[in-house]
C-alpha cells in the first residue's frame, strides 16, 4: 500500500505486571511504549473532524488499560495484545508498537518492536 499517512503516539508510560523474572509480576513496573499506525487520512485533512481519524486519547487509554489489566510473561505477547487493539480499527493498514522496560537491566533498556500489516 502506498499513499498512507502515519499517526504516532510516543512516550506512553504505563504500569503493569509483565515479565518472567522472579518478582516481575508481583509489583507493577513502568513500560515505555511508542506506537505508529498508517491509514488514509485524506478525509480528516478535508473535514477537520475527529470521526475521520483515530483519536490519540482513545489509543492512549486503550494501551494504558491493556498494560494495567493484562499479565504476560513476554513483552512480545503484550505487544501482540496492543497490536490487536490498534488493528481493530479497520482503517488502520499497518501498525507498529515498541515496548521498553527501563528498569529491567542495570544500564541497559530492552525494547521489543513488533509490526503488523493487513
* Virtual torsion, Cα 45, 50, 51, 53, nearest 10 deg: 60
| Marked catalytic residue, from 39, 72, 101, 109 | 101
Q: What whole-number distance in Å separates Cα of residue 98 and Cα of residue 37?
A: 12
Dihedral angle of Cα 77, 107, 105, 27, to the nearest 10 degrees: -90
Annotated catalytic, 72? no
Report, as residue numbers or ranges, the catalytic residues: 101
Amino acid at each position: 500500500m502506498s499513499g498512507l499517512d502515519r499517526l504516532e503516539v510516543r512516550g506512553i508510560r504505563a504500569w503493569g505486571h509483565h515479565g518472567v523474572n522472579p518478582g516481575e509480576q508481583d509489583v507493577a513496573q513502568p513500560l515505555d511504549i511508542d506506537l505508529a499506525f498508517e491509514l488514509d487520512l485524506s478525509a480528516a485533512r478535508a473535514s477537520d473532524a475527529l470521526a475521520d481519524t483515530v483519536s490519540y486519547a482513545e489509543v492512549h487509554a486503550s494501551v494504558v488499560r491493556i498494560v494495567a489489566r493484562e499479565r504476560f510473561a513476554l513483552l512480545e505477547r503484550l505487544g501482540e495484545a496492543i497490536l490487536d487493539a490498534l488493528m481493530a480499527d479497520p482503517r488502520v493498514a499497518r501498525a507498529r508498537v515498541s515496548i521498553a522496560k527501563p528498569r529491567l537491566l542495570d544500564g541497559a533498556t530492552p525494547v521489543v518492536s513488533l509490526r503488523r500489516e493487513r
